[in-house]
Amino acid sequence: MSSGPVSLASRARTVVPGGVNSGQRNVPGLGDLVITGTGGARFRTADGREFTDFHAAFGPPLLGHNDPDVARATAEAGAALGHMGVGVTEGEVLLAEQLVELIPSVEKVLLTSTGSEATFHALRVARAATGRRLVVKFQGCYHGWHDAVSLNVISEPAKVGGHDPISTGILTEVLDSTLVLPFNDSAAVRHVFAELGSDIAAVIVEPVPHNVGALLPYEEFLTTLREETSRAGSVLVFDEVITGFRHDLGGWQRISGVTPDLTTLGKAIANGAPVGAIGGRADLMDLFSTRPGAPAFFAGTYNGHPSVVAAALATLRKLREEPVHEHVFRLGERARTELKELYARLGVPATVAGYGSVFVTYFMDDSDLDGGVPRTYEDLLANDAARFVGYRRRLLDHGIFELPLNLKRSHISYAHTDDDVDRLLEGTEAAVKSVLAEGGADDLAHASTMGGAK
């Protein structure tokens, strides 16, 4: 049985719709990509290539792929403890205690298997607590696959300002219960609360919208969210599936000093293992049916799986005991600084945004941007998508992998080194020069994911 990259990819397309198991894995130009191995800051493919990985599975493996301490803890747990689906284990208690200790908003916490489940439960319990219908989200923020939030992520210009669902099959009445506002627009928040505040159950926000790269929030914007939701009796939800742990052990809420009512977390808790969490105010968390008789149903066969919990405990131990954030922040700052210098030297209109270990280049004139970086989704509409996708495809020729999809961010892990950043800079210069000479990508039909459903 052949295991070559084309034949295996072809077999996948025969039995798996599109040949992949997630919509963002079917990337134009990478249709025959077969991954055969990962380790540290590298991955290998079936055709014998090796790449320095700055995509990092959308960010969760902050420690790097196959971290040996996490792998060891997972194997030991798997050998000692199976999943019972009843009662609780010591590991679940230890993990919950640490999340309560680390994250300002979290008084009690429940584990899920994914971040999408966590955001789903956050909106459900907010509606249970308030008896209200409406939910507010922001253009450019992604909160998972469920219907209430599956809209207005990477929208075409004509669809900004209206409902832009990312999937068909969503009931109109569900979409009508979600209000979409511009990110970083405090006036819009105050206006909608003045008009509809008594019917708003929750506001959910990525404190840094990383699903469109990196839009840093104004302090006043997050403060406004806190003030307006408190005044109206609405629930403020910080979706820290990406910002949680990667930017700070206490999440963006500890950086900003703004404490939400609920926080959702994802697989970064466990260096990429399948886990999520929802935590927050005890009175809200006590509404879940894990307390007999409570009104908001909560269940999940794999919630608190021993192997995943062990991975999370090992990850948190390493994040707390080793200079992980110091290392990735230093390399991230170096990457952003030297990429800016590179584009200036090449005379390429570009701005490099990000925070800590996250970086992303937008190809646009930054002269009109506040502080030289984009702050709103509308700012991002100026990004040259053809150049953005084109140079990332060219990076592959130099053994560097940044996901060649429009607006996607890149990540530094604890496994990356200064030599890796050197290779990133060398590869980027060569790739950008190629795109300048030959033109950017011209097949962008599927190079922007999470756009509007047709």
Catalytic residues: 142, 239, 267
- Torsion sign across C-alpha atoms 160, 166, 170, 175: negative
**Cα 355 off chain centre by:** 13
Angle between helix 68-80 and helix 306-321 axes, rounded to 10 deg: 150
**Cα 347 off chain centre by:** 31
Instruction: Report helix, strand or coil for 416.
Output: coil
- Torsion sign across C-alpha atoms 17, 21, 24, 27: negative
Amino acid (one-letter) located at 449: T
285, 109 in Cβ contact below 8 A? yes
332, 360 in Cβ contact below 8 A? no
Q: The tokens of 3 are what?
A: 């295991």
Which string of b and e fits 320-345 if b means at least 16 CB within 10 Å? Answer: eeeebbebbbbbbbbbbebbbebbee
CA distance 131 to 294: 15
Q: H or E stretch including 111?
A: strand 108-112
